[in-house]
Structure 1
């Protein structure tokens, strides 16, 4: 039996956490010996059904958090309180054929390798290559590239990033994230005058400034319904009021799966204004409900739409053209139905069974 450890820094509400538990649970149900290594002892939003779930003790973890907070308040930083002690404590036992590291672990690659020299260690890239190199790991780029070169393989979500990482590591695996919303949900009737959008409310990445510009051009009688929450909700709400867009752009807040199903089923188009993504789960969710797909032309969306064959891709930042595409779809029910069928066809490639097959192939090589 192949033994696999997946490492996460927490199971808080987030895409990486949701996908990791979905894949780990799915492989465990298929007979793989799966351990989830969790560095946090905080509230968990996703169920864990693996054979083992390792995490720090409540008392020791929270005492560490208190000391880290004190260090930040009195010393101005908490650099002395990295994840390193928890990585050492959680990885000091166990023996694994494969270890899958999520991004928070990349800079600690050497520690995991030291503790498990016998394991094959793979890095799971959840975002675009350029964003990791130029933004998220800009100050730790040497550590990131070292981990990439020394690891036994890289798991990527889309082709552009796979091509770029292949320059540093030849063992690249392209595996999509799976659809995590129940596949028995409703199909949109395409009759409602709502354009669905779903994202964290983070201005830069999710292009909320672009969204405001697009909302201004939404045809009369139509509105954008935005599900999600985040740090920039206050800013966005204020901008909606200042620009007089209350009738064109509505904030729904964070939605559970049942409410999200209704969010898509009641809409007739799905819209994304993201500047960058890894592999957008919300795109697959919306397509699984039969929504025509409109987004900017970024690597992740090229992958989702197979270079625009299954949806509309607009040059990044061209909100005028995006408004025109939305106008074409709102005016033409037949066009919506055609792209609804294409969405339902494409989303088959993102089914959990298909994705788990790819992971099983990786571990059974």
Structure 2
């Protein structure tokens, strides 16, 4: 049977989209017929895979759904139903609670229904996601979460009889690792509020890293100018480098040129940046915001404690031997997230559903 991944928007730069395209390509290369569906067009499409071996579809030409009225909704529903009927049968992977709510009633009975959640239990509990998961996920064939810890908590508190754990995968596995000698701290992600790069800038300013140490931020977004101003206030404007968006094919160069990676997000599920850093032998410091973050094995710091983050960052900046030790441990841990291992787990879940 086929595998159909459905996203609100399948091509914007983001973690859900990146993981979806990585899984789609991997499953397609194993011989599965795979489709990636975006309910809405991306305003700024990001090319995740150079030569996709899967099928791609966009249901609505609108960049995001506005109140287009009942007729617009009916037209979109008809397109979705035609697409699912054309595929015929398979596994329908709905990547967020909003997609489950929107799509599950349109699926033919020939589809196995799988609902993912890319966040943590703590994040879901603090917003409307937990209510949506409680309402819609128990009736799915499988409810998929990123870590054993989060799956157990959702099973207990959302009364899910069908919780399953599937981690995010690494798209590639590097043959070489960082020397950890370059005086560079690296941050990777969208320059948006939820990523809280202002905290990473503050931690870098307070960690005692002397010149020529720099903080490089890879990514783009609406917070760029505010973050520039924040770096100025912190007195490190001349040592914070905004790199902009970097193509996926060039990201290995960024990790190979880094000595430490910092992650200061308000919330995360299982951030691929921690896995990629580990695969390249680069140690990370991160706020302890989810079971997924813990499973990636960074140096953990209490959430929102910038001073504690600065202390750990400064410890690694000042001790190359410790960087090397933690980097080797991170690479060993990242082995479990190699794409083939994660694809094996997806196929095991498919077999479990069919039993």
Task: Answer whether contact 1:37 1:90 (CA < 8 A) is retained.
Answer: no
Mapped to 1, the partners of 2:127 and 2:300 lie a distance apart of 24
Q: In the alignment, is residue 163 of structure 1 matched against residue 163 of structure 2? A: no
Partner of residue 209 from structure 1, selected from 193, 198, 208: 198
Q: How much does 1:160 deviate? A: 3.1
CA shift digits 1:94-144 (9 cap, x unpaired)? 3223211111412224423xx412322010111122323432548xx3x44
Q: In the alignment, is residue 228 of structure 1 matched against residue 222 of structure 2? A: no
Mapped to 1, the partners of 2:300 and 2:293 lie a distance apart of 8
Taking the TM superposition and a 5 Å limit, the aligned residue runs for 1:318-333 are 318-333=305-320
> Secondary structure at the residue paired with 1:189?
coil
Q: Which residue matches 2:4?
A: 5
Q: Which residue matches 1:353?
A: 340
**Given the superposition, is the C-alpha separation of residues 188 and 244 from structure 1 closer, same or farther in structure 2, using an over 3 Å criterion?**
same
When the two structures are superposed, what TM-score results if normalisation uses the length of structure 2? 0.86
Mapped to 1, the partners of 2:71 and 2:218 lie a distance apart of 35
- Bigger drift between 350-359 and 275-284 goes to 275-284
**Given the superposition, is the C-alpha separation of residues 136 and 207 from structure 1 closer, same or farther in structure 2, using an over 3 Å criterion?**
farther
Q: In the alignment, is residue 132 of structure 1 matched against residue 124 of structure 2? A: yes
Q: How much does 1:148 deviate? A: 1.1
Q: Which residue matches 2:174?
A: 184
Mapped to 2, the partners of 1:246 and 1:198 lie a distance apart of 18
Q: Which residue matches 2:22?
A: 22
Mapped to 2, the partners of 1:344 and 1:329 lie a distance apart of 17
Task: Answer whether contact 1:206 1:273 (CA < 8 A) is retained.
Answer: yes
Q: How much does 1:158 deviate? A: 1.6
> Secondary structure at the residue paired with 1:23?
helix
CA shift digits 1:163-191 (9 cap, x unpaired)? 222132211221111112x4236421111
Partner of residue 110 from structure 2, selected from 94, 104, 118: 118
Mapped to 1, the partners of 2:301 and 2:202 lie a distance apart of 14
Partner of residue 81 from structure 2, selected from 81, 88, 91: 91
Taking the TM superposition and a 5 Å limit, the aligned residue runs for 1:1-365 are 2-9=1-8, 10-41=10-41, 43=45, 45-47=47-49, 49-50=52-53, 52-56=55-59, 61-62=60-61, 65=62, 85-92=75-82, 93=85, 94-103=87-96, 104-112=98-106, 115-135=107-127, 137=129, 141=131, 143-167=132-156, 168-180=159-171, 182-184=172-174, 186-203=176-193, 205-218=194-207, 219-221=209-211, 222-299=213-290, 300-305=292-297, 311-365=298-352
Mapped to 2, the partners of 1:79 and 1:133 lie a distance apart of 31
Mapped to 2, the partners of 1:277 and 1:84 lie a distance apart of 34
Unaligned residue ranges in structure 1 (runs of 5+): 306-310
> Secondary structure at the residue paired with 1:276?
coil
Mapped to 2, the partners of 1:51 and 1:189 lie a distance apart of 36
When the two structures are superposed, what TM-score results if normalisation uses the length of structure 1? 0.84
Mapped to 1, the partners of 2:124 and 2:283 lie a distance apart of 30
**Given the superposition, is the C-alpha separation of residues 329 and 5 from structure 1 closer, same or farther in structure 2, using an over 3 Å criterion?**
same
Task: Answer whether contact 2:34 2:55 (CA < 8 A) is retained.
Answer: yes
Task: Answer whether contact 1:7 1:101 (CA < 8 A) is retained.
Answer: yes
**Given the superposition, is the C-alpha separation of residues 101 and 335 from structure 1 closer, same or farther in structure 2, using an over 3 Å criterion?**
same
Unaligned residue ranges in structure 2 (runs of 5+): none
When the two structures are aligned, how many residues end up with a matched partner? 339
> Secondary structure at the residue paired with 1:209?
helix
